[in-house]
């Protein structure tokens, strides 16, 4: 059996630890009402983006390592759908539509379908172009192609009139999701990781096999931890709110 690249697992595991802590604080501050403006604090937004970027880039890199890609893509999409159903029942005002699991599942399937094309694209140009496209389409949700904060082109209003294009990054004005990761721009960040992975894994160094206790185990079980952590975090947050209400 081929030895795993433990460092990649550990990086994913570190992102999982940060994600669990972020969601616990989200439940305390937002769902329990301790500080409803917490999410808009600049440092919190940067933290959240770092978690997301790490997950997506590592997932793109790991495309080269997986087998049964079709099956795995369908499983991850199924988990994303389950998250939508559970959040819709438990917290309708904070329901998750087109969340990060849906993005990762769709990205896995899209990259697999595009494999013949992607293999023809050199790794370095592919990574650079994909990353630039992810930057250009970062603001499509608010109807702009932009670059580094400068608006370049306003997209047609017709793209934002139907729910069917929501998953691509063109939501209607009344759309809301507490966790929204559409194809644009995030699939292209996934492709950035995929192309970068081709370079990194072409001649893997010993450092990739380096194990970091606990974190690499967490990284290997990231999907199942993701699926169970939020209900646990919500229960703990409710306990914190009950204690605070009783003693404060």
The beta strands (E) that lie in the chain are given as 144-147, 150-154
Confidence grade of residue 246 (pLDDT, cut at 50, 70, 90): low
Are 101 and 122 in contact, with CB atoms under 8 Å apart?
no
Which residue is associated with the tokens 């999410």?
39
Q: Is residue 18 part of a domain?
A: yes
Q: Is residue 1 part of a domain?
A: no
Q: Is residue 94 part of a domain?
A: yes
| Average confidence (pLDDT) over 109-114 | 97
Q: Is residue 142 part of a domain?
A: yes
Confidence grade of residue 248 (pLDDT, cut at 50, 70, 90): low
pLDDT at residue number 204? 87
pLDDT at residue number 245? 73
Of the candidates 75, 63, 87, the one whose C-alpha atom is nearest the C-alpha of residue 189 is: 63
3-class state of residue 178 by DSSP: coil
Q: Tokens at residue 165, please? A: 């294009």
Confidence grade of residue 1 (pLDDT, cut at 50, 70, 90): very low
Which residue is associated with the tokens 């087109």?
98
Global pTM?
A: 0.93
pLDDT at residue number 243? 85
Could you tell me the CA-to-CA distances from 6 to 39, 122, 209, 219, 243 in Å, in that order?
A: 32, 26, 5, 9, 40
Q: Is residue 119 part of a domain?
A: yes
- Rounded to the nearest 10 degrees, what angle do helices 100-113 and 183-202 cross at? 60
Say how many domains are in the chain: 1
pLDDT at residue number 2? 56
pLDDT at residue number 203? 87
Q: Which residue has the higher pLDDT, 88 or 1?
A: 88
Rounded Cα gap, residues 248 and 242, in angstroms: 10
Q: Which domain holds residue 192?
A: 6-247
- Segment 14-65, tens digit of pLDDT: 999 999 999 999 988 988 888 888 988 999 999 999 999 999 999 999 999 9
């Amino acid at each position: 059996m081929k030895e795993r690249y433990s460092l990649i697992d550990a990086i994913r595991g570190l992102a999982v630890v940060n994600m669990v802590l972020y969601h616990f604080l989200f439940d305390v501050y937002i769902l329990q009402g301790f500080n409803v403006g917490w999410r808009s604090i600049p440092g919190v937004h940067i933290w959240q983006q770092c978690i997301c970027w790490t997950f997506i880039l590592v997932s793109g890199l790991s495309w080269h390592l997986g087998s049964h890609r079709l099956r795995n893509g369908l499983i991850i999409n199924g988990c994303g759908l389950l998250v939508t159903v559970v959040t819709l029942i438990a917290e309708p005002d904070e329901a998750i539509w087109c969340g990060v699991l849906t993005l990762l599942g769709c990205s896995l399937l899209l990259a697999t379908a595009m494999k013949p094309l992607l293999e023809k694209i050199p790794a370095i140009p592919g990574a650079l172009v994909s990353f630039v496209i992810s930057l250009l389409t970062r603001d499509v949700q608010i109807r702009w192609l932009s670059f580094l904060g400068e608006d370049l082109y306003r997209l047609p209003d017709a793209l934002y009139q139907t729910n069917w294009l929501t998953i691509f990054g063109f939501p209607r004005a009344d759309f809301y999701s507490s966790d929204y990761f559409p194809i644009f721009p995030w699939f292209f960040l996934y492709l950035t990781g995929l192309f970068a992975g081709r370079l990194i894994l072409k001649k893997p160094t010993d450092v990739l096999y380096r194990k970091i206790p606990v974190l690499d185990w967490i990284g290997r079980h990231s999907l199942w931890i993701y699926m169970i952590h939020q209900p646990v975090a919500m229960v703990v947050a409710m306990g914190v709110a009950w204690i605070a209400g009783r003693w404060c």
